[in-house]
A and B are shown apart, each in its own frame.
Chain A
Amino acid sequence: MAGMIGKVLHVDLQRGDVREKELSPVLIKFMLGGVGVASLLVSIEVPVEANALDAANRLVFMAGPLTGTTFPAATRYTVAAKSPLSDTIYSGGGGGGWGPELKAAGLDGILIEGKASKPVYLWVQDSKAELRDATQVWGLDALAAQEQIIKEVGQRRARAVSIGPAGERMARIAAIVGDTGQAAIFGGMGAVMGSKNLKAIVVRGHQRVPVADEPALTELGRKASIYLASNRNLRGLRAYGTAYAMEQSIPTGEVPVQNWRTFCWDEGICRLGGRSIANSYRRPYAPCRDCPVRCFSKVEVGEGKYQVHGVTPQYEALAALGSLCLNDNLESVCYASHLCDQYGLDPVAVGSAIAFAMETAEKGLISKEDAGIDLAWGNPEAVVGLTAQIGQGTGLGKSLGEGVKLASTQLDGVTEFTLHLKGLPVPMGDPRAFFSLAPAYATGFPGDPTAFERFLVRPRLGIMHKQGRFDKGGKGLAAKVAQDYHAMVESAGICPLTIPAMHLPIISAALEAATGETFTPLQAIAMGERTVNLQRLYANECGISAGDDRLPERLLTPAAEGRHAGHVPDLATQLEEYYELRGWDSDGRPTQQTLEKLGLA
């Protein structure tokens, strides 16, 4: 099947064995690519009882059929494995040049198994792959390691993904750092990579991705580029990157402040917003080829205490390291975010852990001496200091690096402010401000339901019009559609940030042109639905059921003031709607009928 190359590199680190295996066209037709195929491979290959940080876990990197083609914003690859945070399957996607380079090297994906006896990195060049000794770069920060390795392979245009010291140490909140220079894949995937003694994967290729109908795909790409460049819903993203969401979210009270318990902090949020960054430190940077949105940028803080030259923090990092810790010092947030990129850490998990520590200190449950740092709310020193400690695994950072859930088990009286979703950090949007976030968070698969709640109409999927953000009904539907949509574009290889400008027919038409197979819009979305159900099946087997689809109590406590004061989602009713639409039983398991419908039985 065109679009996909039909080859996956299987890397057995135990035996140092690297071989190409065929990815069957039947499987591609069934799961498309990207997150779909990655989820399938993980659920087949990783036994449910396997410990995420054991050799039995598999780490799958997978591109989609559109990745690396001329279609705009098609730069995505997915990484999936069993997560050490949630103890079930996790998938996350990254953009930049690594995915397209992988396809150009003649591969759809890479499956890593086993554990190397000593640190290694994987070097793939045009279908030739070898494991190389990484002792020299082990211990280096993720960005320096990428630079060093690219120098070592002697290919200036090679692209690398890597882990930093946090991943090497298997801190559970460690991330994989993308070739964009930014931590990109979360859910503890950095720890899984570290557990395999794999420092980096470097790829370089020269092949063109084979597509079935080149002229048709070019024409569709031209149209999609116009949509991306002109769509009114992407205006802020084009101008400021995801950081624009800080300012934009103020009127709804969506940005979490002070560990989700403060609701009026406009001035602080404004100081952390995309416009603040653009006014002072923003420099152009476009790591994703052919994308007219250009949401990435760099920051350059040349003076003061927190000098930094790195990639601009994304919205989630600004919120987590900023508002969540009541820290309105923008320079410190940029600095801490860059530390996350260097150490290989998920900034949301780091920010959540720091906010947790700050509240713990406020309650007097850890002393200033124990902490060794003044954990007062909003102290930029504490944010930067703890980020470094988590990165190095020293002091408080040792336990915080395992995530809030595990860290909380070492303390008493912290339940009230221990916020996580099945071990994973809570994404930076308040479900009290947009009710659709509640069922989406509770069930766990990524996707932005608020887009479908507030402006995106998708009649074929039952989203006929905008809802009110506090409406009782329709939230399960918004969550389901957002998750299916997200899974579909991540399977195809398109960036999910473009969803507001990419309607179903253009995605399915692009898939048709790339693969040469028939894809109706509904067939395309079914790919996403299948992926979500497949991950759910695996989660069910890992012991997760309806009882685990919960939100921390604090997120279901109405705010006394602010822009969603008094409003709180009725999660039970929402989940009822969601399960019914999904075809899951009341225990949160896909019914036999659903599995048959999706071909998963």
Chain B
Amino acid sequence: MDDKAAGNQDSLVAKMLYLFDQAGFSEMIQPRDVVAIKLHMGEWNNTGYLRPVYIRALADKIKSLGGVPFVTDTTTLPYHVWAARVTALDYLTTAERNGFNSGTVGCPVIIADGYFGTDDVHVDLPEGVILKESYVATAIAAADALIVLSHFKGHGLGVVGGAIKNMALGCASKRGKFAVHGCGSLKFGYQGAPLVAELCTGRDCPNWRLCDEVCPFDALHVAEEGLVWEAEKCRSCMAHRSVVGCGALAVPDDLTDANCVAIADAARATQKVVGPDRVGCINLAIDITSWCDCAGFAGRPIIPNLGVFVSPDPVAVDMACIDAANAAPGIPGSDAEQYGVMECGVPKFSTCSSVIGVSQLLQLKTGQKNGLGSMEYELERIDQVESVLPYLFNPGPGDPVPLGTRFKRLFEKLPVFPSEGYRRREDVDLEELR
């Protein structure tokens, strides 16, 4: 359903809940089922993440079905100095600031992989294209059903951030995330990174201590004459990336491409461990920025809002969003203009989101190959919800009461209107003001 609205019946919240039923997710949830609502709650100072109202509405919906919902996400890798969700403590602090806690969303907020992201379940993945195993955060793996609520937008590494990415890195524990990022890979990981030690000026560099101390595994040191790197100690934690600015440790060939492939593999692991028939994907394609909510900002969206897309198949739902994004025009002044993809029919994310032009279809093609889902889909466009009544505000049980009836006693009791009437002029020259 698209995001156009002419009245209460067109609220995106109403549309989301309506599609939840239409897609059969209600039947998926049995009474007493524990239902994980997987959600990205936004990085510190990010303003593009989904508003808490969507989540509250979803949690209430699940409760009305007899399910036991909880809202969840996982700790991140320490990508940079300002990362605000690396531990559960950091994450919950950030989530509170962004408006998410058990009070606002109406159910517990749990960080699924524990305090430092070590609480996980191992999943064998013989069908994986790159990854042959994955690690899914325990709280998600343990859930009876999983609702993947994704803010669809671009992502610097994954190119698009939708249902697949939310199920992959979003549901993986720390070691699961490291695996996706090429940890231990001699070809795609930093263990296989080309080292150009000569680019490092050694201890002549004013910042040499940073590089010397940054590696938590002691793989990186700065000697008098240059960088010393013990590849076998490397765990691809990427801690060095924001520090080594001289280019001495280069990015391995095809690292980003391999990441996208591994993302779809990790998503497959989540789908497997929860059960393919117990996963529902909801993509809210709004505020579609070229950067992800994991950045500490949200730029001008690159295309207009597309609406809400729902499917049990994460590949299909992302594909439908990508097709709709391709067909949409770019927004003036956004990255779409800067990168020259303003016109309808032109792919947007490979150009605007990936720093090096990685294909926006890599995740999806891999997902099709490893059994995660299908890029072929049938799009059923629904213009309106059948009845708006279930989604409207109703302060009490039973049928809604007419306004006059409800507030009659309050009008009598409280001085809503000034007793002397309003002081005003009746002969204002409106024409002049017009």
Which A positions have Cβ atoms within 8 angstroms of B?
Answer: 223, 227, 232, 247-248, 250-252, 266-267, 269-271, 275, 454-457, 459-460, 463-466, 468-469, 503-506, 563
Inter-chain contacts of A504 with B (CB < 8 A): 340
Q: How far is the CA of A252 from the CA of B356 in the complex (A)?
A: 16
Q: Check A466–B197 contact: CB distance below 8 A.
A: no
**A227 closest partner in B (C-beta):** B338
**Least CB distance, A248 to chain B, in whole angstroms:** 7
The interface residues of chain A lying within 8 Å CB-to-CB of B347 are: 457, 459, 464
Nearest B residue to A456 via CB reads B357
Give the contacting residue for A250; candidates B196, B253, B356; CB below 8 A.
B196
- Say yes or no: A270 contacts B359, CB within 8 Å: no
- Enumerate 7 A-B pairs (CB-CB under 8 Å) in ascending A order: A250-B196, A266-B197, A266-B198, A456-B357, A457-B339, A457-B350, A505-B343
Known: A250-B250, A455-B355, A505-B343. 18 other contacts (CB 8 A): A248-B247, A251-B251, A269-B198, A275-B199, A454-B357, A455-B357, A457-B354, A457-B357, A459-B346, A459-B350, A465-B350, A466-B359, A468-B257, A469-B253, A503-B340, A503-B341, A505-B342, A563-B194
Answer whether A459 and B351 are a contact pair too, CB < 8 Å, given A267-B198, A465-B359, A466-B357.
yes
A270/B356 in contact, CB under 8 A: no
In the complex, what distance in Å separates the CA atom of A301 from the CA atom of B146? 67
Contact B250 A251 (CB under 8 A): yes
With a cutoff of 8 Å between Cβ atoms, the chain A residues found around residue B230 in the complex are: none
Contact of A251 among B194, B257, B358, B361 (CB under 8 A): B194
Q: A563 to chain B: which residues have CB within 8 Å?
A: 194
A251 — which chain B residues lie within 8 A by C-beta?
A: 194, 196, 247, 250-251
Tell me if B270 counts as interface (CB < 8 A to partner A).
no
Across chains A and B, which 9 residue pairs bring their CB atoms closest together, nearest first?
A503-B340, A465-B359, A251-B250, A251-B194, A270-B198, A466-B357, A457-B357, A455-B356, A457-B351
Q: How far is the CB of A565 from chain B (nearest CB, A)?
A: 12
Q: How many Å lie between the Cα of A459 and that of B247 in the bound state? A: 30
Q: Which of A232, A248, A269, A468 contacts B254 (CB 8 A)?
A: A468
Question: Cα distance A269–B341 when bound, in Å?
Answer: 38
Q: Evaluate contact between A505 and B340: CB separation under 8 angstroms.
A: yes
* Cβ-based interface call for B311 (8 A): no
Docked complex Cα distance between A563 and B187 (Å): 12
B191 within 8 A of A: no
Contact B257 A460 (CB under 8 A): no
Identity of the chain B residue whose Cβ is nearest the Cβ of A470 in the assembled complex:
B253
A459 to B339, CA, bound (A): 11
Q: Which residue of A lies closest to B333 (CB)?
A: A223
Across-interface contacts of A468 in B (CB, < 8 A): 253-254, 257
* Complex CA–CA separation, A267 to B194 (angstroms): 14
Question: In the assembly, what is the distance between CA of A455 and CA of B355, in Å?
Answer: 7
B173 at interface, CB cutoff 8 A? no
Candidate in A247, A266, A457, A563 with the most chain B CB atoms within 10 angstroms: A457
Residues on the A chain within 8 Å of B350, using CB: 457, 459, 464-466
Whole-angstrom CA separation of A504 from B254 in the bound complex: 26
Shortest distance in angstroms between A265's beta carbon and chain B's nearest beta carbon?
10
Q: How far is the CA of A464 from the CA of B355 in the complex (A)?
A: 14
B360: Cβ under 8 A from any A Cβ: yes
Report chain B residues within 8 Å CB of A223: 337
- A503 contact from B339, B360, B361, Cβ within 8 A: B339
Chain B interface residues (CB < 8 Å from chain A): 194, 196-199, 246-247, 250-251, 253-254, 257, 337-343, 346-347, 350-351, 354-362
Expressed in whole angstroms, the minimum distance between the Cβ of B248 and any Cβ of chain A is 10
Question: Do A232 and B355 touch (CB < 8 A)?
Answer: yes
Complex: chain A residue closest to B204, CB-CB: A279
When C-beta atoms are compared, the residue in chain B nearest to A244 turns out to be B247
Q: Contacts of A459 on B, CB cut-off 8 Å?
A: 341, 346-347, 350-351
In the complex formed, the residue of A with least CB distance to B343 is A505
Q: Across the interface, do B358 and A247 meet the contact criterion of CB distance under 8 Å? A: no
Closest to A230 in B: B338
CB contacts (< 8 Å) of A469 on chain B: these are 253
Contact residues of A: prevailing secondary structure: helix
Which of chain A's residues have a CB closer than 8 A to the CB of B343? 505
Min CB distance B159 to A, Å, is 8
In the complex, are the beta carbons of A270 and B351 less than 8 A apart?
no
Give every chain A residue within 8 A of B359 (Cβ-Cβ): 464-466
CA gap between A456 and B340 in the complex, in Å: 11
In the bound assembly, the distance between CA atoms of A250 and B247 in angstroms comes to: 10
Q: Which residue of A lies closest to B348 (CB)?
A: A459
A461 → B minimal CB distance (Å): 11
A275 to B340, CA, bound (A): 32
| B49: min CB distance to chain A, Å | 25
Shortest distance between the CB of B344 and any CB in chain A (Å): 12
Q: Nearest B residue to A265 by beta-carbon distance?
A: B198
Q: How far is the CB of B378 from chain A (nearest CB, A)?
A: 24
When A227-B338, A459-B346, A505-B340 are in contact, do A466 and B354 touch as well, CB less than 8 Å?
yes
Give Cα A469 to B359, complex, Å: 15
Chain A min CB distance to B275 (Å): 33
| B residues less than 8 Å from A506 (CB atoms) | 340
Chain A residues with Cβ below 8 Å from B257 are 466, 468
In the bound assembly, the distance between CA atoms of A6 and B137 in angstroms comes to 70
Are B358 and A466 in contact (CB-based, < 8 A)? yes
Q: Give the nearest-CB partner of B247 in chain A.
A: A247
Which of A270, A454, A460, A465 makes the CB contact (< 8 A) with B346?
A: A460
Q: How far is the CA of A271 from the CA of B201 in the complex (A)?
A: 11
Question: In the complex, A248→B248 CA distance in Å?
Answer: 10
- Residue of chain A at shortest CB distance from B254: A468
A454 to B358 CA separation, bound complex (whole angstroms): 9
* Cα of A504 to Cα of B339 in the assembled complex, Å: 9
Taking CB as reference atom, which chain A residue is nearest B360?
A: A465
Question: Complex formed: what's the CA distance from A227 to B337 in Å?
Answer: 10
Closest B residue by C-beta to A504: B340
Residue in B257, B354, B357 whose Cβ sees the most chain A Cβ within 10 Å:
B357
Which residues of chain B come closer than 8 Å to A455, judged between CB atoms? 355-357
Residue of A nearest to B330 (CB): A505
Which residues of chain A come closer than 8 Å to B253, judged between CB atoms?
Answer: 252, 468-469
Closest to A460 in B: B346
Q: Give the residues in chain B near A269, CB-CB below 8 Å.
A: 198
Q: How far is the CB of A223 from chain B (nearest CB, A)?
A: 8
Of the candidates A270, A454, A457, A464, which one forms a contact with B199 in the assembled complex, judged by CB atoms under 8 Å apart?
A: A270
**Residue pair A270, B357 in contact (C-beta under 8 Å):** no
Distance (whole angstroms) from the CB of A466 to the closest CB of chain B: 4
Contact A250 B351 (CB under 8 A): no
Alpha-carbon gap, A250 to B248, bound state (A): 10
Chain B residues with Cβ below 8 Å from A271 are 198
A582 to chain B, nearest CB (A): 23
A464 to B250, CA, bound (A): 25
Complex Cα gap A468–B356 (Å)? 11
Q: In the bound complex, how far is the Cα of B390 from the Cα of A463, in angstroms?
A: 48
The complex places the Cα of A223 from the Cα of B341 at a distance, in Å, of 15
CA distance A465 to B365 in the complex (A): 14
CB distance from A219 to the nearest CB of B (A): 12
Q: For the complex, what is the distance from the CA of A101 to the CA of B59, rounded to whole Å? A: 69
Which residues of the partner chain B approach A464 to less than 8 Å between Cβ atoms?
A: 347, 350, 359
Cβ 8 A contact of B357, one of A227, A248, A465: A465
State how many angstroms separate the Cβ of A105 from the closest Cβ of chain B.
Answer: 34
Residue of A nearest to B256 (CB): A466
In the complex, which of the residues A269, A454, A456, A464 has the most CB atoms of chain B within 10 Å of its own CB atom? A464
Enumerate chain A residues within 8 angstroms of B254, measured Cβ to Cβ: 468
Task: Tell me whether A247 and B340 are in contact (CB under 8 A).
Answer: no
